[in-house]
């Protein structure tokens, strides 16, 4: 145990002394610290196969739990009167943001329960905020002094506990990490210097990133907070070259695209582009759409209204659009400061899990088909896997006949609907369209009411 700990510490000490980091055996391609080389790395296959993940935003912002996770910024940088009024009416005079940290209790946080919920939701991966723009680390970072979850608030290693629970259930683990911090004095100093100095990067950002990788061996690094400074300020390419060449996760880790301004949608691993990105055509690069059940916030807020939440239908629709266009869908929930996930969020996640239990065959491990959506309709979407083509229709046609004009029929065509054992009847229209006769009387036997999948074999 002690020796193991030393192993973890040693690289960090070396980093702090002279910038040296452990180098692994030189097998496989070695990447150089430039985008041409890093961008050419093939994305480890597990990520594209996974398709659906749950995003979790949890931090000190979950204590005021009001407005959004940008609470501190709205309050102290923008001086918004609604935030000032909120604090002055609900907290003692002189309250600072730091005073919220001890109230971040996590007293009801049961990582096993979260992991079970995410598994039942059908998530193949989870991305957790290790540190948001407020700078509070959800693990006992050596670069964080007392602004972390071990020294104050929960007094627990939240990053480690959640990771252990997820791995027991074979769910991949992604670590969200904000490069910048709104109010860190060293960051503000570098910013004042036009990002010509790197005090913050050397003392905070990079030590944290290396520490996260060596300690928690993440499957994803979900970088954020990059946009004010160039990637050369963040030393992104040298970190990624180390990650891909020498880190303990070099063969499996995937990263996103937020590594400095103008990187997003251009460089890195898969692309997030902007939050809630929705391409209108099939992108030529692996991407992920991140979005939140609460459409107005990523962190929990107590003033949320039910009409501000995504409906089950919207969630299924977005997942289907995203996967048809070759993306992964990352759906966010914000736990409370105690560590509970609001039952309305649980209900949405479980509804998606129920849908995926039957329709997941058309989602997980699927590939985009030749055509993404039927005849300019927003209601019928395609995916494929091996010889199978899946047509997912979001709205049940009034006459119980689903018309598909894109598949080219062969003599050996087979038509079925996921969730039913019996093949479906079909006919060919005079325009050679496939008309599937839907099992209307049995529709109500299925445990969901939005989005059904027709499986086609023998079509091209
Ligand atoms: C873990 O999950 C992956 C992806 O779903 C799957 O391919 C693999 O077989 C699973 N492993 C175990 C041990 O269940
Ligand atoms: C960042 O990269 C520059 C150029 O490669 C290097 O001189 C510097 O030491 C790096 N900083 C850190 C903190 O690793
Ligand atoms: C960033 O992108 C914008 C828009 O494409 C461009 O005008 C600008 O020159 C770019 N900045 C750098 C430093 O590459
Ligand atoms: C597209 O759908 C419309 C309305 O359903 C139909 O009239 C039209 O013929 C279809 N076009 C093709 C190319 O299938």
pLDDT tens profile 98-121:
999 999 999 999 999 999 999 999
| C-alpha of residue 186 to centroid of ligand 2, in Å | 16
> Which atom of ligand 1 is nearest the CA belonging to 170?
1
The predicted pLDDT at position 145 comes to 82
Per residue in 211-261, pLDDT (tens digit) is 999 999 999 999 999 999 999 999 999 999 999 999 999 999 999 999 999
User: For residues 310 and 199, what is the distance between their CA atoms, to the nearest angstrom?
Assistant: 42
Asked if residue 8 has pLDDT above 80, the reply is no
Query: What's the CA-to-centroid distance between 349 and ligand 1, angstroms?
Result: 21
Choose one of 170, 252, 360, 363 to mutate for the ligand 1 pocket test, by most ligand atoms within 8 angstroms of C-beta: 170
**Pocket of ligand 4 contains residue 405 by CB under 6 Å:** yes
Question: Residue range 128-145: average pLDDT?
Answer: 96
What pLDDT score does 20 carry?
55
Give me the helix-helix angle, 158-168 and 206-216, nearest 10°: 30
Task: Look at residue 9 and tell me whether its pLDDT is greater than 80.
Answer: no
CA 262 – ligand 3 centroid, Å: 6
Q: Is the pTM here over 0.75, yes or no?
A: yes
Residue scoring higher pLDDT (299 or 24):
299
DSSP string over 183-216: T-HHHHHHHHTTT---HHIIIIIHHHHHHHHHHH
Which pLDDT belongs to residue 5?
39
- Summarised one tens digit per residue, pLDDT across range 176-192 is 999 999 999 999 999 99
201 lines ligand 2 (CB under 6 A): yes
The answer for residues whose C-beta is within 8 angstroms of residue 441's C-beta and 6 or more apart is none
Calculate Rg over the CA atoms of the chain. 24
The protein residue whose alpha carbon is closest to atom 10 in ligand 2 is 235
CB of 235 closer than 6 A to ligand 2? yes
Rounded to the nearest integer, the mean pLDDT of the chain is 94
Nearest 5°: the CA angle 128, 134, 137 is 50
Q: Count other C-beta atoms under 10 Å from residue 42's C-beta.
A: 7
Q: In a mutational test of the pocket of ligand 4, which residue from 395, 397, 405 has the highest number of ligand atoms less than 8 Å from its CB?
A: 405
Q: Give all strands of the β-sheet with 220-224 in edge-to-edge order.
A: 254-255, 220-224, 172-178, 125-131, 52-56, 327-333, 287-292
Instruction: Pick from 375, 378, 435 the residue to mutate for probing ligand 4's pocket: most ligand atoms within 8 Å of its CB.
Output: 375
E-state strands within 257-379: 287-292, 327-333
- Confidence class of residue 17 from pLDDT cuts 50, 70 and 90? very low
Confidence category of residue 393, pLDDT binned at 50, 70, 90:
very high
């Amino acid at each position: 145990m002690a020796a193991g700990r030393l192993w973890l510490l040693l690289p960090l000490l070396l980093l702090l002394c002279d910038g040296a980091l452990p180098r692994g055996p030189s097998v496989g391609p070695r990447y150089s610290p430039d985008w041409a080389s890093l961008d050419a790395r093939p994305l480890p296959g597990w990520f594209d196969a996974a398709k659906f993940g749950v995003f979790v935003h949890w931090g000190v912002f979950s204590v005021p739990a009001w407005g959004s996770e940008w609470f501190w910024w709205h309050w102290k940088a923008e001086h918004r009167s609604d935030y000032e009024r909120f604090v002055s009416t609900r907290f003692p005079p002189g309250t600072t943001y730091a005073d919220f940290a001890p109230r971040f209790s996590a007293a009801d946080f049961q990582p096993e329960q979260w992991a079970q919920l995410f598994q039942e939701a059908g998530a193949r991966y989870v991305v957790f905020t290790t540190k948001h723009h407020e700078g509070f680390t959800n693990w006992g970072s050596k670069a964080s002094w007392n602004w972390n979850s071990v020294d104050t608030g929960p007094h627990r290693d939240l990053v480690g506990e959640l990771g252990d629970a997820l791995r027991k259930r074979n769910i991949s683990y992604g670590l969200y990490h904000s490069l910048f911090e709104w109010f860190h004095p060293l960051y503000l100093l570098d910013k004042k210097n036009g990002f010509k100095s790197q005090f913050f990067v050397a003392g905070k950002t990079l030590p944290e990133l290396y520490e996260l990788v060596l300690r928690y061996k993440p499957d994803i690094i979900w970088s954020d907070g990059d946009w004010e400074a160039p990637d050369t300020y963040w030393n992104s390419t040298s970190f990624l070259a180390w990650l891909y060449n020498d880190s303990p996760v070099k063969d499996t880790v995937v990263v996103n695209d937020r590594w400095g301004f103008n990187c997003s949608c251009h460089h890195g691993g898969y692309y997030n582009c902007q939050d809630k990105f929705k391409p209108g055509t099939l992108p030529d690069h692996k991407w992920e759409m991140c979005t939140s059940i609460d459409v107005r916030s990523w962190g929990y807020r107590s003033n949320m209204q039910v009409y501000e939440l995504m409906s089950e239908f919207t969630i299924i629709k977005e997942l289907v659009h995203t996967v048809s266009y070759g993306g992964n869908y990352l759906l966010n929930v914000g736990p409370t400061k105690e560590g509970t996930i609001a039952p309305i969020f649980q209900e949405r996640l479980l509804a998606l899990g129920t849908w995926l239990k039957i329709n997941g065959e058309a989602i997980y491990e699927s590939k985009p088909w030749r055509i993404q959506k039927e005849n300019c309709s927003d209601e019928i979407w395609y995916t494929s896997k091996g010889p199978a083509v899946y047509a997912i229709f979001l709205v049940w046609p009034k006459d119980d006949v689903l018309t598909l004009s894109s598949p080219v029929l062969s003599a050996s065509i087979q038509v079925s609907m996921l969730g039913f054992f019996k093949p479906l009847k079909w006919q060919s229209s005079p325009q050679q369209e496939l008309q599937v006769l839907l099992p209307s009387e049995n529709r109500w036997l299925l445990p969901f009411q939005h989005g059904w999948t027709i499986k086609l074999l023998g079509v091209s």
